[in-house]
Amino acid sequence: MKKLFALILTVCLLASMSVTAFAANTTGGSTEVSFNVDPTYTVTIPATVELQKIEDNGTVTYENDYTLTAQAGVRLKKGEYIEVTVASEFKMTTAEGATLDYTITAENATIATGGVVAEFATDKAEQTATIHIAANDPDYAGEYKDTVTFTIAVKDAPVTTINFTIGEDTYQAEEGMTWAQWIESAYNNGGFYSANESVYWGEGFWFILCNYGKTPSDDDYYVNAADVIQANTDYVRVELSEG
């Protein structure tokens, strides 16, 4: 009983503790704010598709469409997308051993096993991709069936590389890269660096990067580290004393 009472008293004491705040003349501080948003997506694959008989000018085929759906709210990291591929031998069989070849086409292109049948991007809206499955009229009657495997993978978007020149030197960057990103990347093999929103180069003396054809009186004379590097564009290093 005594111990329980002591415990209760301790809890009450802790709950009532307070700290006195003094107003400072000048104070500052920083707080790091961060949060994590996990990528999410839902891709719906119908469990079955039954080919229907189609007769056209005496020619019989068995066909149907098949729709893959990315539910509304696909959210991936920037630069990522969802790729759906299909694995199949493209042959239906019956219990009696009859076989029937079929094809899968996406956007009018015949798909090979492992081929891509759909791609989805980050989007708040629902996305769909429809493929077409078709077979000729077989020799034998029967219940034909095949099982295919769809693989859904998150992929990085392919990178497009651009060229640009600084003086007589040619450099490369990824399309859409800013100077600040380029400086931090492996593409910067020229020793460029950034400070105060400008781009510099130095080998014992200071050079600042400028847009070719501009003059110091132009607002865009100096390259800004936040600028996107333009493809097939000339840039120029200017001695800082001249800039």
Binding residue for another protein, selected from 6, 8, 49, 112, defined by CB under 8 A: 49
**Which residue number, 151 or 160, has a Cβ lying nearer to another protein?**
151
Beta bridge partners of 62: 53, 135
**Which residue number, 67 or 185, has a Cβ lying nearer to another protein?**
67
What is the rounded distance in angstroms from the CA atom of residue 54 to the CA atom of residue 133? 12
Q: Which stretch binds another protein (CB under 8 A): 26-34, 89-97, 161-169, 230-238?
A: 89-97
Should residue 137 be labelled a site residue for another protein when binding is judged by CB under 8 A? yes
Should residue 180 be labelled a site residue for another protein when binding is judged by CB under 8 A? no
What is the rounded distance in angstroms from the CA atom of residue 91 to the CA atom of residue 103? 9
Should residue 56 be labelled a site residue for another protein when binding is judged by CB under 8 A? no
Binding residue for another protein, selected from 6, 7, 9, 159, defined by CB under 8 A: 7
What is the rounded distance in angstroms from the CA atom of residue 195 to the CA atom of residue 80? 31
Should residue 141 be labelled a site residue for another protein when binding is judged by CB under 8 A? yes
What is the rounded distance in angstroms from the CA atom of residue 121 to the CA atom of residue 76? 8
Should residue 100 be labelled a site residue for another protein when binding is judged by CB under 8 A? yes
Binding residue for another protein, selected from 146, 180, 201, 236, defined by CB under 8 A: 146
Strands 80-87 and 52-56, bridge-based pairing = unpaired
DSSP 173-213: EETT-BHHHHHHSTT--S-EEEETTEEEEESSSEEEEEETT
Should residue 162 be labelled a site residue for another protein when binding is judged by CB under 8 A? no
Should residue 153 be labelled a site residue for another protein when binding is judged by CB under 8 A? yes
- What's the closest the beta carbon of residue 43 comes to another protein, in angstroms? 8
Phi and psi of 71, rounded to 5°? -60, 155
- What's the closest the beta carbon of residue 177 comes to another protein, in angstroms? 25
Phi and psi of 7, rounded to 5°? -65, -45
Should residue 111 be labelled a site residue for another protein when binding is judged by CB under 8 A? no
Q: How far is CA 55 from CA 52, 64, 104, 124, 224, in A?
A: 10, 13, 19, 40, 65
- What's the closest the beta carbon of residue 110 comes to another protein, in angstroms? 15
What does the binding site for another protein look like in residue numbers (CB under 8 A)?
Answer: 3-4, 7, 38-41, 45-53, 62, 66, 92, 94, 96-98, 100, 102, 133, 135, 137-154
